[in-house]
Structure 1
Amino acid sequence: MGSSLSQKLITAGLSMAVGFVAGKVAELGWKAVTGQTAPQDDDGTASLVSVVAFAAVSAAIAAVAQRGVVNKTNKWFAPVEAVSQILSDLDQPAIAN
């Protein structure tokens, strides 16, 4: 079954919000573990290793969070799609052989 437009829009909106929160969690986690702020290579003072490590950690957190959003919205919309399919089937006349 295909996803409805409303499901896609809600998933996209939630993914953006969760992505923002995941980024903040990664920054706070980095500071808690290393005692330093998250590396930003804007001024060139961050080491390549710390930039790559932070990018990997934050990408992993974001991927897990985004997967959770997709799974949750699929679960929320499954009953809606099932009812929609049943109503669609009722609208189509039966074909006699």
Structure 2
Amino acid sequence: GGPGTLPQSINAVAIAGHIALIGVLTGNEGEVPTAKLMAKQARLQGLIVGSCDNQKDFVRALEANGVKPVIDKIFDLDELADAFRYEESGKHFGKICIEF
């Protein structure tokens, strides 16, 4: 996301919630409203993702070993809200997919 993403996430996170900062592409630094983060008692975790070559290697390894994802349920695009509700219910086992 852009420079305002982290402050927006801190505003939106639930008390004692979790924010994952994944694969930052917009630079090395930014403003962090630490007082708000502390007030929310939120957990902030930075995650580094691999390169495009890493992903290609990963896909090749999955294909070579025959690993397939477990798909729990497939929703049509116009059922997107239902898909999010289903995920929120925690009743799924495997991937929830959107078909369009």
**TM bucket normalised to smaller:** under 0.3
TM-score (norm. length: structure 2) = 0.19
Give TM-score, length-normalised by structure 1. Answer: 0.20
Larger Rg: 1
In terms of fraction of residues, the more strand-rich structure is 2
Higher relative contact order (CA 8 A, sep 6+): 1
